[in-house]
């Protein structure tokens, strides 16, 4: 069994296997942290935005310390292997984008893994310092009861239905299954 760097071992343990998607996020996170001269976030001092909900997002969480629970990891459903890393209080962010078709010549999953482990950053990723909005710090809102299902809902997510507070599901704004 191959020996990987300890930080990658941590990502593999969290994600439960090694795959190209994990390595895409792993390498992008290393670049983001390096370019920002940042350590993994203990609280919300670092933020990350992932532009896809692929396996790469797990690596971003583990390496950067940015999580959905802390509110410093955001998902922007664009469907691209693009990652935006920011430090609160700094003007510039680091945008890391997997280059188009970089894995096209990898004939197998194993070859893709090898390329993502060993390929030079500049061949795999486009890295830019950009001015981008940093996600707002996490807010804690009051919970109110949905008049229809009885479940608690974060106040700003509630809607009015028939003059009563409704969660998004009962207001038929969203359905999850």
Domain ranges of the chain: 6-131, 140-177
Q: Which pLDDT does position 175 carry in this prediction?
A: 58
Q: What is the pLDDT along the chain (177 residues), one digit of tens a residue?
A: 688 999 999 999 999 999 999 999 999 999 999 999 999 999 999 999 999 999 999 999 999 999 999 999 999 999 999 999 999 988 889 999 999 999 998 989 999 999 999 999 999 999 999 998 777 777 889 999 999 999 999 999 999 999 999 999 999 866 555
Strand partners, 82: 97
Are 169 and 158 within 8 A, CB to CB? Answer: no
The dihedrals phi and psi of 130, each to the nearest 5 degrees, come to -130, 155
Q: Which pLDDT does position 173 carry in this prediction?
A: 67
Q: Which pLDDT does position 174 carry in this prediction?
A: 63
Architecture of domain 140-177: 2-Layer Sandwich (3.30)
- 6-131 against 140-177: fold identical: no
Q: Which pLDDT does position 139 carry in this prediction?
A: 80
Q: Which pLDDT does position 132 carry in this prediction?
A: 82
Q: Which pLDDT does position 104 carry in this prediction?
A: 92
Q: Which pLDDT does position 138 carry in this prediction?
A: 75
Q: Which pLDDT does position 134 carry in this prediction?
A: 74
What number of CA atoms fall less than 13 Å from residue 54's CA on the CB side?
Answer: 18
Are 22 and 56 within 8 A, CB to CB? Answer: yes
6: left (phi over 0), alpha (psi -120 to 50) or beta: alpha
Is domain 6-131 classified as CATH 3.30.110.40? Answer: no
Are 72 and 49 within 8 A, CB to CB? Answer: no
* Cα–Cα dist 124/27, whole Å: 9
Q: Which pLDDT does position 2 carry in this prediction?
A: 80
* Cα–Cα dist 36/74, whole Å: 18
* Cα–Cα dist 18/115, whole Å: 13
Residue identified by tokens 């797990």 is 58
* Cα–Cα dist 99/111, whole Å: 17
pTM of the model: 0.83
């Amino acid at each position: 069994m191959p020996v990987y760097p300890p930080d990658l071992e941590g990502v593999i343990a969290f994600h439960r296997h090694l795959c190209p998607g994990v390595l895409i996020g792993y390498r992008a996170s290393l670049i983001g942290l390096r370019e920002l001269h940042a350590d993994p976030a203990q609280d919300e001092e670092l933020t990350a935005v992932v532009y896809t909900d692929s396996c790469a997002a797990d690596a971003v969480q583990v390496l950067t310390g940015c999580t959905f629970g802390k509110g410093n990891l955001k998902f922007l459903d664009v469907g691209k292997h693009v990652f935006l890393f920011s430090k609160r209080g700094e003007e510039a962010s680091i945008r890391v984008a997997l280059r188009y078709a970089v894995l096209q010549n990898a004939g197998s999953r194993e070859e893709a893994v090898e390329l993502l482990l060993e390929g030079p950053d500049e061949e795999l990723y486009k890295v830019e310092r950009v001015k981008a909005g940093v996600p707002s710090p996490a807010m804690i809102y009051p919970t109110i009861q949905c008049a229809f299902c009885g479940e608690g809902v974060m106040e700003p997510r509630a809607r009015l239905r028939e003059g009563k507070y409704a969660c998004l599901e009962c207001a038929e704004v969203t359905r999850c299954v």
